[in-house]
Amino acid sequence: MKNWELREPLHHGTAGFPLKAHDLAGPAGSVFPCHWHSDWEFVLVERGVVDLRVGATAYPVEPGQVGFIRGGVLHSASSESPSYHCRPVVFNGNFSRAQAPPTRPGCGSCPSPPASSCFLPSSPPTTRWEAKS
């Protein structure tokens, strides 16, 4: 049963384009309160360490790493780094008609079907299609 008081009241994107990218930065001690939404979320950390709590588990997400959170899951975040910068992207789970997070083919980082959360390690591109021209 959901705690409806913790449901985030924001709309992410529009009906025609159900995706919203955020750009978050701040000082040590920043806290994003516990909440949930029906949309899925990726969090790319660019600077500092963001402690992403998903359900009862905390994950320190470092620069270059991505956290993935399925819709409907309670989550929060905080950072004790002197400064942090992350880019959460919130989107409808049916946006791409895929039921699993996009990963490199055969990378094995995410379970299938995906769990409530998944964390992709940072790594350099290993194939030509991953590398920027």
pLDDT per residue as tens digits for the range 97-109:
444 444 444 444 4
pTM to 2 decimals? 0.71
Please tell me the distance from the alpha carbon of residue 50 to that of residue 68, in angstroms, as a whole number.
13
The alpha carbon torsion through 57, 100, 114, 13 (nearest 10 deg) reads 30
Place of tokens 């299938």: 112
**What mean pLDDT do residues 57-79 have?**
91
Q: Are 110 and 88 in contact (CB under 8 A)?
A: no
Which residues are CB-neighbours of 39 under 8 A, at least 6 positions away?
A: 12, 18, 71, 90, 91, 92, 93
Fold designation for 4-96+108-118: Jelly Rolls (2.60.120)
